Amino acid sequence: MGIIYLVQPIGNRVRSIDRLKPKDRKKPANCNNSNVKFGKHLSNYSDLKDRYERLVGDVDVRVVVNIPDNQIQEFENILKKVFVKHIKQFQEESKTVTREWMSRITFDEAKNIILEEHKKFMSKVNKLLPKK
């Protein structure tokens, strides 16, 4: 079972979204508690939390929905389309290309959108399943 999650830095201190990035690569964007990131994860919650604590520092990481591994990529692609305005806003503000970091959306707004989209997605998936 995969995880769709949200991450939000704790506090307004500005910090890198990837403090482990090699020095020879482009400088990563910065974030603080005005930013939210969504994503998919195919392992356990503690690995996910550890990863973001290493990359960003103090963060709030929450599982929003659990979804079968064979459906997670399709659902993530839907979310990218739904959140495109907020992703582009983050890209413009940070002057970097990122895929899932967002600006001008709250954690709760993002969570509610994911839950609503998940409900629609599962309804569509269930209609496609063979009747017993």
Residue-level pLDDT at 58: 95
The Cα–Cα gap between 85 and 32 comes to: 19
| pLDDT value of position 121 | 96
pLDDT tens across 28-65, in order?
899 999 999 999 999 999 999 999 999 999 999 999 99
pTM for this prediction = 0.92
In this predicted structure, what is the pLDDT of residue 28?
87
Give the pLDDT band of residue 103 (cuts 50, 70, 90): very high
Nearest to 38 by CA among 70, 1, 71, 86: 86
CA dist 70 and 119 (Å) reads 17
Q: In the predicted model, what is the mean pLDDT of residues 75-96?
A: 96
Which strands form 2-9's sheet, in the order they lie side by side? 59-67, 2-9, 35-41, 101-103
| φ and ψ of 14, to 5 deg | -80, 130
Digit-coded pLDDT (tens) for 59-79: 999 999 999 999 999 999 999
